[in-house]
Amino acid sequence: MPKLLRTSLSLLIMIICLGCTAGPLPEATRLRNTSTPYPLATKVPVPTLIPTATVTSVSTLPVVSTTVASTATAQVFVAPDFGKVYTQTAQAKLTALALTPVATRTPWPSSAPALRDLAAKHGLYIGAAVQAGLLAKEPAYSDTAARQFNLIVPEYEMKMCIIWPARDRFDFSASDAIVQFAVDHQQRLRGHNLVWTDCLPDWISQGHFSQADATAMLKQYISAVVGHYRGKIQYWDVLNETIDRPPVWQSLIGPDYETLALTWAHAADPDALLFYNDYDAEVMNNKADRIYAMVKAWRAAGVPIHGVGLQAHLKGPIDYASLAQNIARLNALGLQVHITELDLPQDDFAPAQDEMQGQVYANVLKVCLAAKNCPVFVFWGFTDKYSYLNQNTQVFPLIFDQDYKPKPAYAAIYQVLGGK
């Protein structure tokens, strides 16, 4: 069966099964609004975005789209990557959710609404990873972060190697600075991360501990950190990339270390939503299947898991129908899905690459907005001046250039959010 047909049929299955999703989160795991500092944005229906054409019958569709299936509730037409995802429900006309060519690098009017203003209309938290040192010393960095985003996440300051430098010492100074910035600018926070194979302090990676000791240590750490930020951090990446890169805790504590970590985090802040976060599992693939099976089993066992983070460190266009299907099946478990670390390196700095980057970012956002429960969309940084990807060469992965000017990628996101 051709890939496009297989993909499209899976998208059709996703659209049909959207009506058969699990009910809302059980009361115990729904985010109670008591302790969040800011009112939860209610999810407003996603308006029809940038209808570049309203076609009433399949025959008038451009050749790039292929009819693959029709049912009583939906006709699904999926174009190749970079194309358009057309859907028609019984009552709505066929609307092409497609991008008009985005504005190139023109000076951005200061009177234009910011991304956070547009996102709020969709009940979306649009965010970026930030660094405490840059917030403190670079006004263009901090001003942009405050103006554009209604959610931020520490890029590295909230990791174990920074917060727990010695067994008898916790250092929250850098992560507190980011949390205070969020409080000052009415932003939500993703806590990142509690359990990861990287960024272990030396006294742990070089130490020798019994199972009982290691269990007590990890419980102490999670309880201390989540407790320290109780009521301030709405979402925690409790487990990061553990399915294929198990941390030392697996050998020290045993196979239950993940569910124990989730349980300890939930006890420390019952209102925080707890996530499993990973890369290369955005679309339907073997890793995504294993993560799906893992979190499905945790949900069935009553383990406090509330969502999955898809990091989306992309390396080019992806199969958007497959991304939509993966998000839909996770939502059907009653889980939120967040895009948590979106970036897309460009091989070289060229307008065509800029346009491509904008198309990919916009299409990923469209899939998130159209999903049942994808309320958070985060870039891993926001200016090309500072990206972890710029190790050996500038790869221009983000939405502002190194002078903090909006790139076509920014314009594409702006358009999808309904900006004029």
Residues that bind ligand G3I (CB under 6 A): 131, 133, 155-156, 159, 198-199, 240, 311, 341, 388
Nearest residue to 97 via CA among 46, 45, 50: 50
Please answer whether residues 95 and 331 qualify as being in contact, where contact means their C-beta atoms are separated by less than 8 angstroms.
no
Is 198 or 348 the residue whose CB approaches ligand G3I more closely? 198
Is 65 or 131 the residue whose CB approaches ligand G3I more closely? 131
In the three-class reduction of DSSP (H, G, I as helix; E, B as strand; rest coil), residue 315 is classed as coil
In the three-class reduction of DSSP (H, G, I as helix; E, B as strand; rest coil), residue 312 is classed as coil
Torsion of CA 123, 127, 132, 136, to 10 degrees: -80
Is 340 or 359 the residue whose CB approaches ligand G3I more closely? 340
Q: How far is the CB of 198 from ligand G3I (least distance, A)?
A: 6
Q: How far is the CB of 315 from ligand G3I (least distance, A)?
A: 13
Beta strands in 156-213 (DSSP E): 188-195
CB within 8 A of 293, min separation 6: which ones? Answer: none
Active site residue 241: yes
Specify the length of the chain in residues.
420
Is 40 or 199 the residue whose CB approaches ligand G3I more closely? 199
Residue from 155, 157, 258, 341 carrying the catalytic annotation = 341
Residue from 155, 241, 258, 282 carrying the catalytic annotation = 241
d(CA 307, CA 331): 8
Is 18 or 174 the residue whose CB approaches ligand G3I more closely? 174
Q: How far is the CB of 326 from ligand G3I (least distance, A)?
A: 18
CA 338 remoteness from chain centre:
3
Q: How far is the CB of 410 from ligand G3I (least distance, A)?
A: 20
Q: Are strands 74-78 and 151-154 parallel, antiparallel or unpaired?
A: unpaired
Q: How far is the CB of 212 from ligand G3I (least distance, A)?
A: 29
Q: Tokens at residue 33, please?
A: 């609004």
Q: Tokens at residue 8, please?
A: 């499209």
Please answer whether residues 148 and 113 qualify as being in contact, where contact means their C-beta atoms are separated by less than 8 angstroms.
no
Q: Tokens at residue 338, please?
A: 């967040």
80: how many CB neighbours lie within 10 A of its CB? 14
Active site residue 341: yes
Beta strands in 254-315 (DSSP E): 273-278, 307-310
Q: How far is the CB of 388 from ligand G3I (least distance, A)?
A: 3
Is 123 or 246 the residue whose CB approaches ligand G3I more closely? 246
Q: How far is the CB of 324 from ligand G3I (least distance, A)?
A: 23
Please answer whether residues 321 and 293 qualify as being in contact, where contact means their C-beta atoms are separated by less than 8 angstroms.
no
Please answer whether residues 53 and 64 qualify as being in contact, where contact means their C-beta atoms are separated by less than 8 angstroms.
no
Q: Tokens at residue 318, please?
A: 């992806």
Is 83 or 191 the residue whose CB approaches ligand G3I more closely? 191
d(CA 153, CA 176): 12
Q: Tell me the catalytic residues.
A: 241, 341
